[in-house]
Structure 1
Amino acid sequence: MRPDILNPLFAEATVLSGVGPAVAKALERLRLTRVVDVAFHLPTGWVDRLPREELMHTDVGRTIAIVLTPREYRVGRSPKGPTRVQATDRLGNYVSLTYFGGSSGYVKKLLPLGDAKQVSGRLDQYGQELQIIHPELAETGESLRAREAIYPLTEGMTHRRLATLADQAVGRAPILPEWIDRSLKERRDWPDWREALARVHADPADAVARARLGYDEVFANQLAMALVRQSTRARKGRALAGDGRLRDMLKLPYALTGAQARTVREVEGDLAQTAPMLRLLQGDVGSGKTLVAAMALLIAVEAGAQGALLAPTEILARQHGETLKRTLGGLPVEIAVLTGRDKGRAREATLMGLADGSIDILVGTHAIFQEAVGYRDLGLVVVDEQHRFGVAERLLLQAKGKAPHLLAMTATPIPRTLTLAQYGEMDVSRLDEMPPGREPIETRVVSEERLDEVVNALGRHLSEGGQAYWVCPLVEESEKSDLAAAEARAETLRRRFGDRVGLVHGRMNPEEKDAAMAAFSANRTSVLVATTVIEVGVDVPNARLIVIEHADRFGLAQLHQLRGRVGRGGGTSICLLLRGSALSETSRARLALMRETNDGFRIAEEDLRLRGGGEWLGTRQSGEANFRLAPPDQLADLIACAHDDARLLIERDGGLEGRRGDAARIALYLFERDAAVQLLRGG
């Protein structure tokens, strides 16, 4: 249960004075439905108003606040023309207050002649006269603030109204016990939580107060993950000690890399413990994660248990199934694939095989943890593309066995601080070496003005029997315009290459998408035009060319993932990055780095530096860890600090027991990371 002390904050926003149906609708559009949402809707900037007694030409270009008296109306002849109000300061200097597009009646009501008002706005010069366009006016009995907060807005909402609502929301915020370690708080000179909240709304430039609020949110996230880890570790699982017989039978055409061998040892050590393994395997595209997963699954089977491999898409699940069958061919290991598409007798046979233990390894999509799927003895779960699955889904799958071990894999190299933010409850292994024979991909940056040359080069590549991807850009974050761009490009290429051009995009249903991918995999189509849905997992060794349009619009991590679709079948592969003519400094730096290196970990660190942590931790990257209070430029520092403080609380200060523990429990509920508390309770 949420602590009673927080109830005033979690009340509906309609309890705030001035929130009628129209304002409530505007707040809803901003997703501010509760008092706490309004309190946490922080200003993104501010306007400083210079208080002035008189108008001065030296203030042109500045925002001023001044008392003016309207003297005369000048209404344009056309209905759409501006309405100008000639007004004077206390010394009789004139300024024109100009309103566009409104009715003159409204303006006259706003500024009655002879009625002095405090006015604010940017002072401009229009010809010989001074002018303020659409000035702000002080409400009756109030004066304009010297510094006014700028908030993210929607139609029907003003900065001033939001500031008034935020004042009320802060007023309802209780004084809470302190959850930050005392020495850390003193070292950073941070105010108390409620004071920090009030300070940020009153003065958006207050960096210390903002850092304190951001820290609280990050701390709650780190603590939640530490508690999940503690709970998992405390659950009694079973040790899986493989005897090596299956691994000894494995005939690999090459030796494991040093990084693969090290990771297999780490996994083997974890599996031998009764506390369930919680390990994240980060490997760059092509670094051999699947082979590490295969070895882990073999250890589980050697120990008499079953293993499951969970993939985010049907095509990736089937691909993993084929790879495992090929790698483990000749071994006495039964592998099955189960996706949502499997129906009837084939599905029944798989379910029976799982229940009686004759199937050793199951590969599939979400379908493998549906209620109807029962295992005789599930000992290890491997999750591919970890960032596509949330904590809840991981727990669902783990509930299928007696606290099975978990190995999560991601092909997105993530900087260390952000690994802590997303996977703070996990041990981390890194595959930072490439297997022998994997050649670096040659990356070239080409101007979009040379598109015809690129299409001709594509023609030569196809005439030599090659296949290619053509990736269309993300246009204004809109699926519709994504789709339009991809369809238009596919149509253009079809006019040149006919039916050899396939198309795949996010709005297709799974069957259509799989069919398009399968046609490309089987070489029935030679060019696959795609939106970024191909980013993860498709493996077509014959595809040795990828063209990425508007490459300057993509982040580094995404460009690197897309580039990794080629270079999987030996020989030289090429990635062509088509750039626009007007490049920002950041875009130029990104494309230069892509040309310079194939090292995903270096690219990830650089991407974090160029983009800031906030964008990295948006829903797109992580699925879960989305911060609304933490300043992006301080995120890395706050995460590392909060990670250590959360561990201190659990290991030294008794976790959620004791005074600091009680305060931390409130923080978990305040920042809605309380699933961790429920988890401990459910044990």
Structure 2
Amino acid sequence: MRPPLLDPLFAPITSLDGVGPKVAKLIENVVPADLGDRAARVGDLIFTLPHSVIDRRHRPGIAHAAEGAIVTLEVRVDRHQPPPRGNRSVPYRVYVHDDTGELALTFFHAHAAYLEKSLPEGEWVVVSGRMEWFNGRPSMVHPDHIARLEDAASLPLVEPVYPLTAGLSAKILRRAIGQALARVPAMPEWMDPSIARRHTFPSFAQALQRLHNPADPLDLSAEGVAWRRLAYDEFLAGQVSLALVRANTRRLSGRPLTGDGRIEDAVRRALPYSLTASQEQALAEINADLAEPERMLRLLQGDVGSGKTVVALLAAARAVEAGGQAALMAPTEILARQHLATIAPLAERAGMRAAILTGREKGRERAEVLEGLASGAIHLVVGTHALFQEAVAYRDLVLAIVDEQHRFGVHQRLAITAKGNAPDMLVMTATPIPRTLVLTAFGDMDVSRLTEKPAGRQPIKTVTLPLERFDELVDRMHKAVSEGQKIYWICPLVEESEEIKLMSAEDRFNSLKPVFGSAIGLVHGRMKGAEKDEAMRAFKSGETRVLIATTVIEVGVDVPDATIIVIEHAERFGLAQLHQLRGRVGRGDRASTCVLLFKDPLGETAKRRLSVMRDTEDGFVIAEEDLKLRGEGELLGTRQSGTPGFQVARIESHADLLEVARDDARLLLTRDPDLQDERGQAVRLLLYLFGRDEAVRLLRAG
């Protein structure tokens, strides 16, 4: 049950004065919470923070007011000049002056009676708004504020500016946020006093007041104590919920998995190469975890082509030796089939039976796989999330391996946990994630990193090329194909759209077909599974030499003899995605090239991105740069997939608080695992405030 104290913040925003269904829909576009399919609540408004301020303490005098500046002026009203009768297109002007010069206050479609009342001739008034100069004469169109001199104290001197959307006025949003703040109840302090002292944090309520009613622009700085306080609260909520997931996962204690090394040795003998030092290190860490009675929760990070699949297979061999089954889940069907192609021959030579299960297996074929899993005849199954649906029963699932974790949130981790008798979990990602983000998304996991490329891999040469040199590029590609090379050509879209004039995969395919003839293929996400497989098979076998594709090939597709990748409109892709795509080549023993084709003129961020790609192949360096350029929300793919899209915290400004929050969360739960004492109860409120209530449910479940 949610604590009743928080009820006012969980009321719908339509309970606020002046917010009907129509306005509520508009407000939902600006609140930072990931609403999913729920309506916005009053509590979402308190975290809708201003992005800047209007500083009305600036009073330069008319003649010294700069073009475009927002200024506050004390002026005397000289005369009113209404538009000629019947001509509404001419504005109503009020002429005023101060010691330095004269100014025209300009109003379109004005109500004369209102202006005569608020700007009486001969009176001194205070006006505030944006200065504009026409032909050397100053004007202020529709001042934001007008007040008599004696009422000037009522003007907000520093006024916050909130994010807006078409149709939503600043006034209405400010009023709604003001009402929401008034409903924030007096809450107990959930922050450790020593942390509050060390960082000179204000209380939660004071921090909110300071951000929404700033006395100075500095109050709104992301580096200021008010914003840092709320960022810390959000980090703490995240870290406590991850620690609770971890504790819950561990509490369903696993069992020690130790084997005699027989199957593992057979797999190693079947490999055409020996493992790299970091593969051996990762495997040692995994085997040590498997041997413990607690469940394993490990994240295996490795750059594209660093050999994660082999490590996963050897871990699976250990699980099978111990008498259990292993499942490897991939995010797409293409990837699942590819994993099977890599794994099945090796598994077979070591006496392990492997099978595949995706949405495509139907009828008898599917029934046979399900039966093999239930009887234990199948030792290792590869598939998509079909592996963890209700109908699939395992005889003894002891190890779940999840590929490309950033597409699976905490909820999916819990769903997998429910299969088998709490299987050990190994999660793999080829997206190099900066250390700070590993903490936010995977704070419940131990981490192993693969830092080397397997032996024999060649470096990839990366070049940037403007679209103007397109014909030259096509000539070079034609020559490469005649020498027997294979080329990926990546386009950002499937078909051309009205809004964005970019080359789509289908258009590019049609434009290059006359050049390459039957040697060209096409694959994109809207094709049926069987069509995609056929296009990939033809490219792999060499029937086609050029594959036009969308980013469907971004993750895990393996054609070792592809040596060139062209990424068209490279400026439209993020760094992590460019790095993933580049990793499709350089997988064999021949030198490879990545061509980043861009359209001038490039913005600053795009320029920086392309130069980072030219300068380094190190995925972790690229990930840190990506974080600086893009912020955390986009870096982990989408916000919807259970990744941490923060409402208040900004990784780039607040990363130092993340480790403090993690250590604090661990200490808190060591002392009070069920959050029962005074601080524990306060932290429960915090979890609800930041939408981490699933973690509170774990407390009750356990």
Letter in 1 for 2:104: S
Deviations 1:204-225 (A, max 9, x none): 6422101111111111001100
> 1:474-485 maps to which residues of 2 (within 5 A)?
481=500, 485=504
CA distance in 1, matches of 2:391, 2:367: 10
Counterpart selection for 2:105 from 80, 97, 101: 97
Deviations 1:249-283 (A, max 9, x none): 23222111111111111111111112110000001
Corresponding residue SS for 1:120: strand
CA distance in 1, matches of 2:591, 2:639: 31
Are 2:272 and 1:268 aligned? Answer: no
CA distance in 2, matches of 1:561, 1:549: 15
Q: CA deviation at 1:647?
A: 1.3
Question: CA contact under 8 A between 2:411 and 2:642: conserved in structure 1?
Answer: no
Question: CA contact under 8 A between 1:614 and 1:631: conserved in structure 2?
Answer: no
Counterpart selection for 2:554 from 535, 538, 545: 535
CA distance in 2, matches of 1:76, 1:416: 69
Matched residue, 1:14 = 14
Question: CA contact under 8 A between 2:327 and 2:400: conserved in structure 1?
Answer: yes
Deviations 1:401-431 (A, max 9, x none): 0010000000011111110011000000000
User: Structure 1 243/110 Cα, relative in aligned 2: closer, same or farther at 3 Å?
Assistant: farther
Are 2:225 and 1:208 aligned? Answer: yes
Q: Which moved more, 1:369-378 or 1:495-504?
A: 495-504
CA distance in 2, matches of 1:496, 1:78: 65
Matched residue, 1:72 = 81
Corresponding residue SS for 2:658: helix
Corresponding residue SS for 1:634: helix
Corresponding residue SS for 1:380: strand
Question: CA contact under 8 A between 2:118 and 2:147: conserved in structure 1?
Answer: no
Counterpart selection for 2:486 from 467, 474, 478: 467
Are 2:433 and 1:414 aligned? Answer: yes
Q: CA deviation at 1:372?
A: 1.1
Matched residue, 2:304 = 285
Matched residue, 1:198 = 209
Question: CA contact under 8 A between 2:60 and 2:71: conserved in structure 1?
Answer: no
Q: Which moved more, 1:338-347 or 1:479-488?
A: 479-488
TM-score, scaled relative to structure 2 = 0.90
CA distance in 2, matches of 1:655, 1:675: 14
CA distance in 1, matches of 2:70, 2:118: 24
CA distance in 2, matches of 1:248, 1:407: 21
CA distance in 2, matches of 1:178, 1:48: 32
Are 2:166 and 1:155 aligned? Answer: yes
User: Structure 1 453/46 Cα, relative in aligned 2: closer, same or farther at 3 Å?
Assistant: same
Question: CA contact under 8 A between 1:285 and 1:561: conserved in structure 2?
Answer: yes
Counterpart selection for 1:88 from 90, 93, 96: 96
> 1:358-437 maps to which residues of 2 (within 5 A)?
358-437=377-456
Runs of at least 4 residues of structure 1 off by over 6 A? 75-79, 139-142, 477-480
Counterpart selection for 1:47 from 33, 45, 54: 54
Q: Which moved more, 1:119-128 or 1:296-305?
A: 119-128
Corresponding residue SS for 2:263: helix
Q: CA deviation at 1:158?
A: 2.0
> 1:613-628 maps to which residues of 2 (within 5 A)?
613-616=632-635, 619=638, 623-628=642-647
Q: Which moved more, 1:169-178 or 1:590-599?
A: 590-599
Matched residue, 1:296 = 315
Q: How many residues align?
A: 677
CA distance in 1, matches of 2:446, 2:118: 73
Matched residue, 1:562 = 581
Letter in 1 for 2:521: G
Matched residue, 2:199 = 188
Q: CA deviation at 1:607?
A: 2.4
CA distance in 2, matches of 1:478, 1:50: 48
Letter in 2 for 1:542: D
Letter in 2 for 1:122: R
Counterpart selection for 2:370 from 320, 327, 351: 351
Are 2:128 and 1:120 aligned? Answer: yes
Deviations 1:384-411 (A, max 9, x none): 1111111212221221100100000000
Deviations 1:557-613 (A, max 9, x none): 221111001112221111011233333444333323322221112222232234344
Matched residue, 1:232 = 249
Unaligned runs of 5+ in 2: 32-38
Matched residue, 2:43 = 36
Letter in 2 for 1:311: A
User: Structure 1 681/523 Cα, relative in aligned 2: closer, same or farther at 3 Å?
Assistant: farther
Q: CA deviation at 1:632?
A: 3.9
Question: CA contact under 8 A between 2:27 and 2:173: conserved in structure 1?
Answer: no
CA distance in 1, matches of 2:417, 2:101: 76
Are 2:580 and 1:572 aligned? Answer: no
CA distance in 2, matches of 1:320, 1:618: 22
> 1:632-643 maps to which residues of 2 (within 5 A)?
632-643=651-662
Matched residue, 1:491 = 510
Deviations 1:278-334 (A, max 9, x none): 000001111100000000000000000011000001111111111111222322111
CA distance in 1, matches of 2:360, 2:499: 27
Letter in 2 for 1:115: L
Corresponding residue SS for 2:301: strand
Matched residue, 2:258 = 241
Deviations 1:609-662 (A, max 9, x none): 343445435626974211010134323222222111111212245551211111
